[in-house]
Structure 1
Amino acid sequence: MSSRVSQRPRCPRCNLPPHLCLCAEIPRVETRTRFLLVQHVVETWKKSNTGRVAALALANSRLLIHGAQGESLDTALLSEPGTWLLYPDGPTVPPDAPAPRQLVVLDASWSQARRMTQRVPVLRALPRLVLPPPEPGMLRLREPTHPSGMSTLDAIARAVAALEGPEAAAPLERLAALRVQRIAECGTLY
């Protein structure tokens, strides 16, 4: 805890420094699909984390923490009928499959997400929504470690566009772009 106390102050809601705070800009996005964000415990207080902002924007979402000492992940939520996993690799769902009722999103680095899928058997069994790689020129703060890698907020915006149309995804895309723009204008990664 003491390491966080010595850091610069951050907004308790969006986790960004006060001069970059996005809280006033976070839209309320209604979706048919429920988003279940499974956040790796290491990501919880990272300034670069976008999963928390995505969860704040999505009315039909829930944020769970994975890997906290002494706590286990409630896998019953992951096993609900109609649940898919948003993941950059693996077998895709047949085109004629019904849309998911719930989409699990791993909010973690690529290596953390890979380990999560290895250690949580129910994740390996879920049908996968595989997004195409990001377009060249996509606004980013840094280069991803995986060819299909992108921030959690960008991935969710693209999933919403694929499942519910571009109009539903537009507020999330604007929020992701605004976040990158504010941080870039600051001149450093915070």
Structure 2
Amino acid sequence: MPPRAARPPRCTRCNLAKHLCLCAEVPQVETRTRFVFLQHVMEVSKRSNTGGVAALALSNAKLLIHGSMAGTFDMEVLSEPGTWLLFPDGPTAPPDAPPPRQVVVLDANWSQARRMTQRLPELRALPRLVLPPPEPGLLMLREPSHPAGMSTLDAVARAVALLEGPEVAAPLARLAALRVQRIADCGTLN
């Protein structure tokens, strides 16, 4: 069997191959809502990961790693008043509830995200921010494994639009579309 071709070097910030690097395109989006990204340790080095890029774009964001052997994070951040979980299933907030001050975003594949919600009691207790299903025509690299599935970056853009308005979310949506387009044009995630 012939040896595998060497993968091109990746950008250490956006995690894409250097020729696809998005760093110069990452906007700084100001939000009232704080976004806490709880990234599964298996997502950290994936080329397909978009949670890290979303965290870079949001000035009011915090990125935490779940499942790291190096240590744990302070679970108190998940229990702060006004915290909701961006997730398609579970208890939603009452219609008259004030908007969240903080949204926890699980940056993982569907099976990892579901296990995280089952294993972390702090997550199970949070009201859910449920997004409507993605509109037809949303640019995606692959078919989602869940009917409400989309990339973390797409989900965050839609959550920002819902909470703070489409004009605030527009730079995130453009970044998500640019990422998909660059990868599709090259035909690879390398």
Matched, 1:93 2:93: yes
Report the equivalent of 2:37: 37
1:189 deviation in Å? 3.3
Report the equivalent of 1:83: 83
- Counterpart mapping for 1:1-190 below 5 A: 7-190=7-190
Alignment deviations for residues 141-170 of structure 1 (CA, whole Å, 9 cap, x no partner): 001100001100000000000000000000
CA distance in 2, matches of 1:139, 1:9: 25
CA distance in 2, matches of 1:70, 1:12: 19
The amino acid of 1:58's aligned partner reads: L
CA distance in 2, matches of 1:45, 1:33: 27
1:70 deviation in Å? 4.8
Identical amino acids, percent of aligned pairs: 76
Report the equivalent of 2:3: none
Q: How many residues align?
A: 185
- Give the SS at the match of 1:178: helix
CA distance in 2, matches of 1:56, 1:95: 31
CA distance in 2, matches of 1:70, 1:175: 31
CA distance in 1, matches of 2:7, 2:45: 11
CA distance in 2, matches of 1:112, 1:8: 28
- Give the SS at the match of 2:117: helix
Deviant stretches of 4+, over 6 Å: none
CA distance in 2, matches of 1:123, 1:85: 7
Q: TM-score, normalised by structure 1?
A: 0.95
Structure 1: state its 5+ residue gaps. Answer: 1-5
1:72 deviation in Å? 2.3
The amino acid of 2:61's aligned partner reads: S
The amino acid of 1:125's aligned partner reads: A
Alignment RMSD:
1.0
